[in-house]
Structure 1
């Protein structure tokens, strides 16, 4: 199909091992992310960290942007000191993805933030994060087993874009120990967990600019990515 929208997906930048003996720095992405885009009819392209000055030019070639999950954001970005349980930041990735997001908002390119991606959207808008969620909610249900997705229910907010895509209550794949604290300027919280944790946010308006704290790419529900791909296709 010649009219398939091109969807950029951000990547990790980390040390990785593969094959017989390779152990090198790598830009990588779990295969579930590009498959998620492809299953919705989009063309997926990986966006490894690059010079932030090139972000606007990259985004001009895209029809949509997915900010993937991954490492904890540097708490210095929102004026905080690292929590003892916070992961080591990856400044190259932080700078690159903040620049991509800024360019996508400026150029009205549809954006879906997933887990870290949602948190990045909040920080970009001047919001803050809870660095270790169990300290606030008193349980580890959002991230009970390292390296495995589990499920918990979320309730979308009626009347929001997110609420229009999802049922009144739905189980989602979860794996996060950080979360939104103070909501960024202009953003609206559009779903919550039973403990009150913000599970989705969006910019109001007609453009697709949505972040979710869960991992939709890890399950069969394509409603979010199909909405992104349809929005991206309309730009053409």
Structure 2
């Protein structure tokens, strides 16, 4: 049996959408992708019982009201309905201790779900010079390095304390609550990865490994393999539906 992986989707005024790279990364990793729309927060408990893993995809900005802030001028497009659905899906998956992989915006959703906060715009809120975090190169170009914390799950997956990643964001993690720990940072101090030692598999990354899998990046490939392995392990721990 293959694990069923729920992938959250973007929404605008008329359309739900998802980058094909997420779907292909799940298929290549040995899972069955199931795209989840917004508006399902009231059914999140039932939906998460059907899933073996949740992949929170990238997208626009989170509503700063979720962490008790007013919007700054540099805030981008927000979709409160997506925030609501994804946060509830995360909470339900955590209650079941099923694997979660958060990518870019999904990394930020994870932090907020645990009670953390975000920089609405790193460039206007940082007192020091930053790297280019919204790269102008193509999506599979690895534009800057990330230093991984020794002894973390992510470091063991990567088998290295320094990796190269792509980068497409202007928001970032600020306050990171327990039990989350920082597992990776850029050289300018921006938090690039988090994980929860208290759960079977909960990892958030600020970059887009799904876009790097297509370019045969071995670290990204191992990340998806480890995620799928965790999903299979949870399938064996509970009665399969």
Normalised to the residue count of structure 1, the TM-score between the two structures is 0.91
SS in 1 for 2:12: strand
CA contact (8 A) 1:123 1:184 kept: no
Task: Select the residue among 46, 62, 87 that pairs with 2:76.
Answer: 87
Residue of structure 1 in register with 2:56 after alignment: 67
Give the deviation of 1:228 after TM superposition.
Answer: 1.1
CA distance in 1, matches of 2:46, 2:96: 11
Task: Select the residue among 170, 174, 179 that pairs with 2:172.
Answer: 179
Residue of structure 1 in register with 2:239 after alignment: none
CA distance in 1, matches of 2:95, 2:18: 26
CA distance in 1, matches of 2:82, 2:137: 22
CA contact (8 A) 2:29 2:224 kept: yes
Residue of structure 1 in register with 2:217 after alignment: none
Residue of structure 2 in register with 1:18 after alignment: none
Task: Select the residue among 33, 36, 39 that pairs with 2:22.
Answer: 33
CA contact (8 A) 2:148 2:185 kept: yes
Matched, 1:58 2:50: no
Q: After the TM superposition, which parts of structure 1 deviate over 3 Å for at least 4 consecutive aligned residues?
A: 146-150
CA distance in 2, matches of 1:203, 1:145: 32
Change in 2 beyond 3 A, CA 1:107/1:86: same
CA distance in 2, matches of 1:69, 1:146: 17
**Structure 1: tracts of 5 or more residues without a match:** 16-24
CA distance in 2, matches of 1:80, 1:149: 34
Which structure shows the higher strand fraction? 1
Change in 2 beyond 3 A, CA 1:146/1:77: farther
CA distance in 2, matches of 1:67, 1:195: 25
CA distance in 2, matches of 1:162, 1:148: 22
The superposition leaves residues 31-52 of structure 1 with CA deviations (integer Å, 9 ceiling, x where unpaired) of: 0000011111111110011231
More off after superposition, 208-217 vs 80-89: 80-89
What RMSD over aligned residues (CA atoms) do the two structures have, in Å? 1.5
SS in 2 for 1:219: helix
Which structure shows the higher helix fraction? 2
Matched, 1:158 2:155: no
Residue of structure 2 in register with 1:43 after alignment: 32
CA distance in 2, matches of 1:9, 1:117: 10
CA distance in 2, matches of 1:146, 1:128: 29
SS in 1 for 2:166: strand
Give the deviation of 1:146 after TM superposition.
Answer: 9.0
Task: Select the residue among 198, 214, 226 that pairs with 1:205.
Answer: 198
Number of aligned positions between the proteins: 225
The superposition leaves residues 147-194 of structure 1 with CA deviations (integer Å, 9 ceiling, x where unpaired) of: 856521001101111111112111011100010111123210000100
Task: Select the residue among 178, 182, 189 that pairs with 2:182.
Answer: 189
CA contact (8 A) 1:36 1:225 kept: yes
SS in 2 for 1:170: strand
**Structure 2: tracts of 5 or more residues without a match:** 214-219, 236-241
